[in-house]
């Protein structure tokens, strides 16, 4: 089995909230942030498979907790403004593409966030293909998500390596026949590049988000380790 494509999760891998999800919520909820998130968000929300709108769910939760800030403002502050792309992750994406691999996005998102990621964050320009759960109608960790992504990419699942920060999503990818890698940004990109190399994925220099050549520490033409 030879890896020809790399499929990346988004949150925790390509983008993150630097101070953490709960800290972003705490500016409105204080020490009730964990309870609020537990009540208003889960990976089983129908919005993640394209059914309904998350904003009314958020608005109802804010009302229950006595938060007077409009739901649209809270959503924008947390889901858009607090979010940062991880430059080193995108350097690796470009290096993989420059090395001849197909590089793709596979993420669970509700529909309000998709245009922001596609256009404001520039994801469409970075990946060969992008697969959002709300558009596929299937969410990770369902193996069908990965089978459908592979079908649309036009390859066998065994040709794809998938990177995600959530263990059950990695298990779903493996159940579909992909190579699954459990990794998040806190573990550092050197580790990820070493793991990729262990699966035969060798990268060379790509470009940074400004278009400048980036080799990273030890990532040059034909180099496998370490990473940017």
How confident is the prediction along the chain (228 residues), in pLDDT tens digits per residue? 799 999 999 999 999 999 999 999 999 999 999 999 999 998 889 999 999 999 999 999 999 999 999 999 999 999 999 999 999 999 999 999 999 999 999 999 999 999 999 999 999 999 999 999 999 999 999 999 999 999 999 999 999 999 999 999 999 999 999 999 999 999 999 999 999 999 999 987 654 544 454 444 333 222 222 222
**What is the pLDDT, as a whole number, of residue 190?**
96
User: Among all chains, which residue has been given the structure tokens 């959002």?
Assistant: 132
Comparing CA positions, the residue from 98, 120, 140 lying closest to residue 228 is 98
Residues with Cβ within 8 Å of 26's Cβ and at least 6 positions away in sequence, in order, are 33
pTM over 0.95: no
**What is the pLDDT, as a whole number, of residue 217?**
36
- Asked if omega into 144 is within 30° of 0 (cis), the reply is no
77-104 b/e (C-beta count within 10 Å ≥ 16 → b):
ebbeebbebbebbbbbbbbbbbbebbbb
**What is the pLDDT, as a whole number, of residue 44?**
86
**What is the pLDDT, as a whole number, of residue 43?**
84
Token duo for residue 176: 């579909």
CATH superfamily of the 5-16+84-214 domain: HAD superfamily/HAD-like (3.40.50.1000)
* CA atoms of 202 and 20, how far apart (whole Å): 32
Token duo for residue 216: 């990273």
Task: Kindly list the domain boundaries of the chain, sorted by start residue.
Answer: 5-16+84-214, 21-81
Identify the H or E element spanning 110: none
User: Among all chains, which residue has been given the structure tokens 């089983």?
Assistant: 44
User: Among all chains, which residue has been given the structure tokens 């026949």?
Assistant: 177
């Amino acid at each position: 089995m030879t890896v020809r494509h790399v499929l990346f999760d988004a949150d925790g891998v390509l983008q993150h909230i630097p101070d953490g999800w709960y800290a972003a919520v705490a500016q409105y909820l204080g020490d009730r942030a964990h309870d609020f998130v537990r009540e208003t968000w889960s990976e089983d929300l129908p919005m993640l498979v394209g059914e309904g709108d998350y904003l009314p769910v958020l608005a109802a939760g804010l009302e229950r907790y006595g938060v007077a800030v409009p739901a649209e403002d809270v959503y924008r502050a947390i889901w858009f403004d607090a979010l940062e792309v991880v430059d080193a992750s995108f350097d690796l994406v470009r290096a993989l593409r420059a090395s001849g691999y197909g590089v793709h996005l596979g993420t669970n998102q509700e529909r309000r966030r998709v245009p922001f990621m596609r256009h404001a964050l520039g994801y469409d320009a970075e990946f060969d293909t992008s697969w959002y759960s709300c558009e596929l109608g299937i969410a990770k960790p369902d193996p069908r998500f990965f089978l459908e992504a592979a079908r649309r990419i036009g390859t066998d699942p065994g040709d794809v390596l998938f990177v995600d920060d959530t263990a059950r999503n990695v298990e779903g990818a493996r159940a579909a026949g992909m190579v699954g890698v459990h990794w998040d940004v806190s573990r550092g990109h050197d580790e990820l590049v070493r793991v990729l190399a262990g699966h035969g994925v060798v990268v060379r220099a790509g470009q940074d988000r400004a278009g400048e050549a980036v080799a990273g520490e030890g990532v040059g033409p034909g180099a496998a380790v370490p990473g940017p």
